[in-house]
Amino acid sequence: MQAEYVVVGAGSAGCAIAYRLAEAGKRVLVIEHGGSDRGPFIQMPAALSYPMNMPVYDWGFKSEPEPHLGGRSLATPRGKVIGGSSSINGMVYVRGHACDYDHWAESGADGWAFADVLPYFKRMESWHDGGHGGDEAWRGHDGPLHVTRGERANPLFDAFVQAGLQAGYEVTDDYNGEKQEGFGPMEQTVWKGRRWSTANAYLRPALKRQNCELIRGLALRLMIEEGRAVGVEIERGGRVETIRAEREVIVAASSINSPKLLMLSGIGPAAHLAEHGITPVADRPGVGQNLQDHLEVYLQMASKQPITLYKYWNLFGKGLIGAQWLLTGRGLGASNQFESAAFIRSRPGVRYPDIQYHFLPIAVRYDGRAAAEGHGFQAHVGPMRSPSRGAVTLRSADPKEPPRIFFNYMSTEQDWEDFRACIRLTREIFAQEAFAPFVKSEIQPGAALQSDDELDGFIREHAESAYHPCGTCRMGRRDDPMAVVDPETRVIGVEGLRLADSSIFPRITNGNLNGPSIMVGEKAADHILGRTPMAPENVAPWIHPHWQIAQR
């Protein structure tokens, strides 16, 4: 079994890489441990809480007990299926802020400033504004990835945007365009009523070519001979096999499994590898370090009017939505229900948004459990740039054992200040006139909790991951001891090996990470093919003119 290029992981970045390499006529083998995404629970957008809780589709990772969250272990779902986490995620599409990428470039990821990555975002997108306006010039129109907007038929979606306006915030037609800051419509990777994962957008078209093949198997370790990656050892059907790469091995196995695979193969912090009896091939202390994520809390309100999705929160209602979706591909089943969003700044002196909102017209938990009996709605809110850093390390040298995932959430005073600000700013939004016809009372945290200590107690008990782990194989300059890959996504210290997925983010981007992960795959493909990167587009993002002195 051999090909020019072997890609480990058919996730968001891996599928994009496979598609671009196959399109260029290269022979590509993609290794994926997970199986098919054919089931209705994956393809129906409204059923999003199911696949991320199904062991058949999810690796089922959990964090170590988090000391600053009362010793809780948090769920860390990662897709174990073609399409990777794009097949089990919430389908929210956010590029990130232009300043995020400029920060990447400043921290050593040369050639990854916003001007450099914008052409790749445009190349990957087929953007449909649904007649609601947006920034045509900033968006792509003929890429593999369809990006759409929900119908926003429920009056609560508009109330959320109007309340933001009444509270003195900006409104934006397109947070993925020139102006991220403000309240407006949310975008989703849904097309014709189906989840538009990277399996649908990239992998299936790639597999239609003669030169691209998918192999089911668990990657055990990378084969490295005389400092060069020459293949991958996999297990399938109970047998260990070797897949050889004539040119390069490309690891795209997620911010959890990519550093694990590197360390199992002898690439990582030498002392840590030695603890597990692994002979170091390349001493890279940054492998597995720099782990980041977004945390969020749900602020829930009881509704005066019976207009929320709660009326479908029963077997009959769910059956009705499912039947309509199966027959027509339309209706409530065809949306992830995240149809209004906002990005705001927490305080004066913050240059660009550092708080994100997802608004949902039902009071429910991510695992599908209704928190409140009855009609309600909620805003998911959390800070975007936590200073806390964690690590992914080996539990043992056994490839079948999950790694140790320690986020070290809420480990700085800044985290707590930011989260209290999130809760207080959200309460102010829900207190605006636009919500007067709808807000009955605050379910969670509950109006009784007001002091810093009371809010801290609520955060400690209720903060949840937004499932955006990244940063564990940071991109940087070759002379940076903590960098794992260089700006061309080559693993430093090993020839013939690249790594391209959310692991390489120097710092977490604003919002949901699926879009940036796909972009990394798109741009990495050009580096792998030895192409001159696409020409930079120098456009300036909207920055609040009074950001230094005003919060809104």
- Which of 68, 468, 527, 544 does the annotation list as catalytic? 468
Omega of the bond prior to 437 within 30 degrees of 0, cis? no
- DSSP state letters, 18-84: HHHHHHTT--EEEEESSB---SHHHHSGGGTTTGGG-TTTB--EEPPPBGGGTTBPPEE--B-BTTG
* Paired strand residues for 212: 28
CA count, 13 A, side-chain hemisphere, 84: 29
What is d(CA 79, CA 542) in angstroms, rounded to the nearest whole number?
34
Please spell the DSSP secondary structure of 391-439, one letter per residue: EEE-S-S-TTSPPEEE--TT-SHHHHHHHHHHHHHHHHHHTSGGGTTTE
Reply yes or no on whether 544 is catalytic.
no
Which H or E run contains 497? strand 497-499
Q: What is the DSSP letter of 476?
A: -
| Residue the block writes with tokens 């795959």 | 521
Alpha-carbon distance of 62 to 402, in angstroms, equals 9
What is the H or E stretch that residue 194 is in? strand 194-195
Widest Cα–Cα separation across the chain = 70
Q: In the chain, what is the straight-line distance between the N-terminal and C-terminal CA atoms, in Å?
A: 58
User: Rounded to an integer, what distance in angstroms lies between the CA atom of residue 415 and that of residue 388?
Assistant: 8
Q: Token pair for residue 411?
A: 């480990």
Exposure string over 269-279, b if 16+ CB within 10 A, otherwise e: bbebbeeeebe
* 3-class DSSP state of 383: strand
DSSP conformational letter for 193: T
Q: What's the CA gap between 353 and 384, in Å, rounded? A: 8
Contact between 4 and 26 (Cβ < 8 Å): yes
CB 389 within 8 A of CB 291: yes
Annotated catalytic sites, by residue?
468
